[in-house]
Amino acid sequence: MSKLNTALITGSSEGIGRSFAEIYAKNGHDLVLVARNKIKLEEFAQELKAKYPVEVEVFAADLIPVDAAQKLFEAIALKEIKIDILVNNAGMMQVEKLSESDPQKLNNLLQLNIQSLVNMTQQFINPMINRGQGKIVNVGSIASFMPTPNFAAYGASKAFVLSFSEGIAEELRGTGVSVTCVCPGMTETKMLSHAEGMEKFIPKFLKADPMELAAQAYKASMKGDVVFLDKVANKLLVQWATHYPRWLVRGVNGLFARFK
């Protein structure tokens, strides 16, 4: 098997995606960075190239439009770059009751967290299958395992990511392409600090450092793990959510949501 050379990481200007980029560069992978803010991406690309002996290309793109994945795939193909690893990390969260949500923002969330992730995977997967090797890393959440009142659409979008990832992991068995769904808990990024005061209710020991998360997730994906959870507390929470009756898990989450 030849080396899995180039990793495309969406949402790599900030947070977990930025940490993924650093970890992949540290491990010798060339990078394709994708997010909307071109200036931030270009500055980050310079920083990475100065620190590690890797090539870094930048594609500024909004992944919300329906044809975004196809356009990105074509732009990358024009530059004759082969993507060996696709990290579908870009995502958005909206902490708001459904009745109070702005419909446009809600559609954007569903489009980015679900549709764009599926479209990106579909676009980039066939060349990987043809080469007999590749890796897909989809970023879900511990919310993939339980309902999340007050940000129900976000939790449901992450449940989709987990189900989709596990489904295609089986479809791709034997092709040389593996799929890993990374399911972080609370991680110290802009997303968490912007989450309507949620951050201040979370004890420090529950919050993950994005670099540590990305480093562990990288290893899990390289091993071919299908589902990856960091931190003991997250594993326990998921055990509870998946082993206790749904009415109980739903009720407890509802109680927490009403207390906030």
Ligand X SMILES: NC(=O)c1ccc[n+]([C@@H]2O[C@H](COP(=O)([O-])OP(=O)(O)OC[C@H]3O[C@@H](n4cnc5c(N)ncnc54)[C@H](OP(=O)(O)O)[C@@H]3O)[C@@H](O)[C@H]2O)c1
* Nearest approach, Cβ of residue 142 and ligand X (Å): 7
Nearest to 61 by CA among 94, 30, 88, 33: 33
Judged by phi (left if over 0) then psi (alpha if -120 to 50, else beta), residue 11 lies in left
Question: Six-digit token pair at 70?
Answer: 């196809």
- Using the rule CB under 6 A, give the single segment among 145-153, 187-195, 214-222, 243-251 that binds ligand X: 187-195
Q: List the one residue from 42, 57, 75, 92 that touches ligand X (CB under 6 A).
A: 92
- Using the rule CB under 6 A, give the single segment among 129-137, 181-189, 228-236, 249-257 that binds ligand X: 181-189
Q: List the one residue from 28, 37, 66, 126 that touches ligand X (CB under 6 A).
A: 37
Q: In what order do the strands lie in the sheet with 134-139?
A: 56-60, 30-35, 6-10, 85-88, 134-139, 177-182, 227-228
154 is a catalytic site residue: yes
Q: List the one residue from 48, 90, 137, 146 that touches ligand X (CB under 6 A).
A: 90
Q: List the one residue from 190, 204, 243, 258 that touches ligand X (CB under 6 A).
A: 190
* Nearest approach, Cβ of residue 37 and ligand X (Å): 3
Other residues' Cβ atoms within 10 Å of the Cβ of residue 93 = 22
Overall residue count recorded for the chain in this entry: 260
CA distance 254 to 4: 44
Helices (H), the chain: 15-26, 38-51, 68-78, 103-110, 116-131, 152-171, 190-193, 210-223, 232-243, 246-259
**Is residue 215 a contact point for ligand X (CB under 6 A)?**
no
- In the range 45-64, which residues lie near ligand X by CB under 6 A? 62-64
| Catalytic hit among 24, 52, 154, 244 | 154
- Residue 41 contacts residue 18 (beta carbons within 8 Å): no
Question: How open is the CA angle 39-28-73, to the nearest 5 degrees?
Answer: 55
> How many residues sit close enough to ligand X to count as binding (CB under 6 A)?
30
**Is residue 193 a contact point for ligand X (CB under 6 A)?**
no
Which is nearer to ligand X, 58 or 177 (by Cβ)?
58
* Nearest approach, Cβ of residue 63 and ligand X (Å): 4
* Nearest approach, Cβ of residue 7 and ligand X (Å): 15
Other residues' Cβ atoms within 10 Å of the Cβ of residue 193 = 12
Binding site for ligand X (CB under 6 A): 10-17, 35-37, 40, 62-64, 89-93, 112, 139, 141, 184, 186-187, 189-192
